[in-house]
Chain A
Amino acid sequence: DSGVTQTPKHLITATGQRVTLRCSPRSGDLSVYWYQQSLDQGLQFLIQYYNGEERAKGNILERFSAQQFPDLHSELNLSSLELGDSALYFCASSVGAVGNYGYTFGSGTRLTVV
């Protein structure tokens, strides 16, 4: 157990639908990062939040949005889903705004769009 909790572990939904992925960072960590990993692909950085504020943005689609709440958990909202959005979505956390001691990843949410 890495200390980063992601729910749900699996999600199957239809095209056009909207889903919310949830992440609770490791205790004491203020930064949350979201990554997308398609089948046999690398890790694509989506977005980072630090202490409730958006800190950095990657190649996140306009259909995707995220936020970090006062208790530091984060949610990634994916809307108007397409088949190509099927992927493993990882959340990671770090103590500070910069991951000097590395990121701690959760086990991921596997999203299947049918």
Chain B
Amino acid sequence: GQQVMQIPQYQHVQEGEDFTTYCNSSTTLSNIQWYKQRPGGHPVFLIQLVKSGEVKKQKRLTFQFGEAKKNSSLHITATQTTDVGTYFCAPSTGANNLFFGTGTRLTVIP
């Protein structure tokens, strides 16, 4: 698999605070996907980023792909309890997004 580090492993935030998770690769990526897994649930596809420097928004979620296409981030503004879960990145070097990052588990304290 690819050498991908996802940080932090865990994050506890107060409701209303912002949250960011990072996915860093040692190699240049062709694209990266992000997934969310709620507690007790299955991973759900959120988005795919393809272009260098790409920024995409989904309501309070902002996804970025680095200029060098080696890192990506997911930022949540003003977290809510519904944001609780584990966020995974799934990078690709061209073939497929088979190998997922280690995930960041987000806990939101009401």
Contact = CB atoms under 8 A, between A and B. Distances in A.
Contacts, number: 55
Contacts of B100: 35, 42-43, 45
Nearest to A88: B42
How many chain B residues sit at the interface, stated as a range, is 20 to 34
Interface stretch (B12-20, B74-82, B91-99): B91-99
Interface string A78-114: 0000000000001010000111111111111000000
Interface stretch (B21-29, B43-51, B56-64, B65-73): B43-51
Contact of B44 (A48, A100, A105): A105
B85 interface: no
A42 B95 contact: no
Interface residues of A, number: 24
B26 to A, nearest CB: 17
A56 interface: yes
Given A56-B95, A98-B96, A42 B42 contact: no
Interface string B4-18: 000000000000000
Contacts of A59: 1
A49 interface: no
